[in-house]
Structure 1
Amino acid sequence: MFKRKHNTDEPNNKRKRNLFIYIGVTLLFFLSIGIGYAAHIYNKTEEIVSDSHEDIGRENNTSNLRAEEVDPIEDNVSVLFIGVDESEKRDYETASRSDALILATFNKEQNSIKLLSIPRDSYVYVPEIGYNTKINHAHFYGGPKATIETVENFLNVPVDYYVRVNFEAFIGVINSLGGITYDVPFEIYEQDSNDNADAIHLQPGEQLLNGEEALALARSRKYDSDIERGKRQQEIIKRIGKKATSASTIFKLGNVLDAIGPNLKTNLTFDEMKSFLTYGINKNIAIEMINLDGSGGFMDDDLWYYVVDEESRASVQEELREHLDLSISNKNTTDFAKDDLGDKPSY
């Protein structure tokens, strides 16, 4: 049993960012490559990807869970999207925690994408440090490499590529597009990206939102349910995508790329990234969100954790491996519930 204690730490509204921010911005970046037909946009995109390229020291840039190298042009592959809370105010560089983790698997034959959201407070074994803690701590101790190793150990699913972005890209993209129109459902007071309390005040009704305002609306969770918040997030992404692909926005793509570029790190090359366009331009693409069931509470260290249900983890592991056309292994990640104090978490 978890310790009975009021949870004042989860969710931590000052640090937790919504996963859609990072995935949405990155997908928009991929889209920009596809519609950036003009030579200067194409060259600009290639330059940004080149500047953002960062290997993590794996042999042939290949996961240890792969028997051989993969090619996203021909193979089913996975991409780990890592959202971090970095900005000029929070100049953490590598020593920052991940605020959102999404493992995406891409299946060529099925023309489908599966997106797994991994709760940031999940209690998992972190190989980099040799004991169990929150999964978002892995990035603090070892950046993308440690995060990838932790996710692979947790799910027994190879992570072929990673993309790391921060929430400043989201703000910059919306501002570059000239804002987005949204029907705000209720009056809200929310903090801004610099954690200034109640700095964003929105009245209900259809209106043009800038980046800070859209971020506040997307992050807000105290006025309704998580389900309704999820619907808002999905709708905001649709609004961004619709405006980004409109004819009036073509000449703003340079500014959009400028907003994303400084906030992006990835081990994808430009040619590899272009290969994902087959998913983006196909209107019949199937995108499925999947989640990990579990329960949360405080442990003996007085910190709040989310403990993933073992059956749920095994089911998700099987689903993702099957989607990647990998054998369904009976192997369980042996260090899932092992910490430095014993074989099971202490509640």
Structure 2
Amino acid sequence: MVRKTFGKDRFLMNSYTKGVIACLAVGLLLFVGFGYSIYEAVLHANDNMHTPLHSRIDNGGISEKREATAEPGEPLALLIAGIDKTAGSGYGRSDALMVATVNAKAQSVKLVSIPRDTKVQIAGRSMADKLNHAHAYGGPDLMVQTVEELLHIPIDHYIAVDMDGFVDVINTLGGVSVVNEKSFSIDGYDFPKGTLSLNGEKALAYVRMRKEDPAGDAGRTSRQRDVMESAIAKGLQVGNLANIPAFLQSLSDAIETDLTLTEMLHYVSAYRPAAQSIKQLDVAYREETVDGLWFAVLPQEEVERIGNELRTHLTID
């Protein structure tokens, strides 16, 4: 800050000057007080959200499928999971699973939704199981490990969103806009065909509808991607300082991640241009019922196709 030194010349402080100084003083106090509220919100958010992957502590937090960590600006892969803890105690099951690869140089994001009932081999389990059970059995560590083994790509970071907290995040963002391709009603809400503006409660109902959709789980995962894409775009527009503490509070109550808040801010800055181009990848699967349990079975060639496209986007040989 540049200091100005005044000489001994006296000047007349009229009522206008006094008013300006008073306004500046009040403004400064408000700014300092607001700055402190942001500071406290940041500390609280970081403490609440940050949950490192225990299986990576001895490896510096790096995936075993990488030789070095992906620095901001380099291609990286994120696992985004919606967690439903209402079904029981413990870690909760993943209600939605999406892998996003981000390439800043190509200025693009590739987003793939993996059916939650995908039949996979979970580490430590003797029989094949549903993918969404991985988080219930072993939390984020086992969930990340299972997805890495399924697609044969490194998952650099994970973001787990509590489905109840998801409502508050969407509301803090001021809602999201989506294009609905099929009219339906669920949980007392009507969703006509066309462009919709959804608050948090409506967005949660919108992404959970499956039984009335002829496309079944595929239709639901498509809606999940649409809402996620809209939320990402809206989140990157949050520039109003007055909204930051409330936004951070909603995030800290809803999100668990191995990223620190500082790292998240660095990534947002580095990858903001990439978020303008999001390509959604569809996954083909067949249905299979084993002992009364319904599974989504991904053919090996489909797993390889998706994995290869994501690895290419990550510039991994």
TM-score tier, shorter chain, comes to 0.7 to 0.9
**CA separation in 2, counterparts of 1:244 and 1:323?**
22
Distance 1:261 1:231, change over 3 A: closer
1:225/1:240 CA distance change after superposition, 3 Å: farther
Q: What is the CA–CA distance in structure 2 between the aligned matches of 1:284 and 1:177, rounded to whole Å?
A: 17
Deviations 1:159-207 (A, max 9, x none): 111111112222112333555688999985423xxxxxxxx24486999
Query: Distance in 2 between the 1:272 and 1:137 partners?
Result: 29
Report what 2:27 is aligned to. none
Equivalent residues in 2 for 1:185-224 (5 A)?
Answer: 189-191=185-187, 200-202=188-190, 210-221=199-210
SS at match of 1:100: strand
The residue number in structure 2 matching 1:161 is 157
Matched, 1:79 2:71: no
Which protein has the larger Cα radius of gyration, Structure 1 or Structure 2?
2
C-alpha contact 1:72 1:275 (8 A) present in aligned 2: no
* Structure 1 equivalent of residue 23 of structure 2: none
Query: SS state of the match for residue 128, structure 2?
Result: strand
The DSSP-based 3-state class of the residue aligned with 1:312 is: helix
Counterpart contact for 2:225–2:280, Cα < 8 Å? no
CA distance in 2, matches of 1:145, 1:56: 6
Q: Aligned partners of 1:64, 1:283: CA distance in 2, in Å? A: 26
Check if 1:258 corresponds to 2:249. Answer: yes
Shift of 1:42: 6.0
Closer, same or farther in 2 for the Cα pair 1:150/1:287, shift >3 Å?
same
2:263 equivalent in structure 1: 272
Q: Aligned partners of 2:177, 2:276: CA distance in 1, in Å?
A: 26
RMSD, matched Cα: 3.5
Cα–Cα, structure 1 residues 122 and 286, in superposed 2: closer, same or farther, change >3 Å? Answer: same
Partner of 1:312: 302
2:284 paired with 1:302: no
Contact 1:171 1:211 in 2 (8 A): yes
Q: 1:322 aligns with which of 303, 309, 312?
A: 312
Greater mean deviation of Cα atoms: 236-245 or 276-285? 236-245
The aligned residue for residue 124 of structure 1 is: 120
3-state SS in 2 of match to 1:131: coil
Distance 1:212 1:285, change over 3 A: closer
* Richer in helix (by share): 2
Q: Normalising by structure 1, report the TM-score.
A: 0.67
Kindly provide the amino acid, as one letter, of the partner of residue 142 in structure 1: G
- Conserved 8 A contact 1:180-1:240: no
Mapped partners of 2:83, 2:275: distance in 1: 31
Separation in structure 2 between the aligned mates of residue 143 and residue 123 of structure 1, nearest angstrom = 18
Which one of 87, 93, 97 corresponds to residue 97 of structure 1?
A: 93
Using the TM superposition, give the Cα deviation of residue 231 of structure 1 relative to its aligned residue in structure 2, in angstroms.
Answer: 6.5
- 1:65 aligned partner: 65
- Structure 1 residues 292 and 242, CA, compared in 2 at 3 Å: closer, same or farther? closer
Gap regions ≥5 residues in structure 2: 1-33
Q: Cα gap change, 1:93/1:231 in structure 2, threshold over 3 Å: closer, same or farther?
A: closer
Is 1:293 paired with 2:292? no
Secondary structure class of the residue paired with 1:126: coil
Query: 1:314 is paired with a residue of what secondary structure?
Result: helix
CA distance 1:184–1:245, shift in 2 (3 Å)? same
1:131 Cα deviation after fit: 2.9
CA-to-aligned-CA distance 1:313-335 (integer Å, 9 cap, x gap):
111111111111111xxxxxxxx
The 3 A distance-change label for structure 1 pair 71 and 172 is same
Q: Is the 8 A contact 1:79 1:161 kept in 2?
A: yes
* C-alpha contact 1:175 1:210 (8 A) present in aligned 2: yes
- After superposition, the Cα gap between the structure-2 partners of 1:128 and 1:41, relative to the gap in structure 1 and judged at 3 Å, is farther
Q: Secondary structure at the match of 1:217?
A: helix
* Partner deviation per Cα, 1:262-305 (whole Å, 9 max, x = no partner): 22111112332123224553278421111321101312x11100
Instruction: Identify unmatched segments of 5+ residues in structure 1.
Output: 1-36, 192-199, 328-347
Whole-Å separation in 2 of the counterparts to 1:283 and 1:220: 29
Q: Distance in 1 between matches of 2:117 and 2:292?
A: 13
Q: For the structure 1 residues 232 and 125, does the alpha-carbon distance in structure 2 shift closer, same or farther, using more than 3 Å as the test? A: closer
Q: After superposition, where does 1:231-246 map in structure 2 within 5 Å?
A: 234=226, 238=230, 241-242=233-234, 245=237
CA 66–130 in structure 1, closer or farther in 2 if over 3 Å, else same: farther
CA, structure 1 residues 315+257, in 2 after alignment: closer, same or farther (shift >3 Å)? Answer: same
Residue 149 of structure 2: SS of its match in structure 1?
Answer: helix
On the 8 A contact 1:128/1:141 being kept in 2, the answer is: no
Distance, in Å, in 2 between the alignment partners of 1:285 and 1:184 is 21
Moved over 3 A (4+): 37-43, 174-189, 201-210, 217-233, 235-247, 278-281
Percent pairwise identity: 30
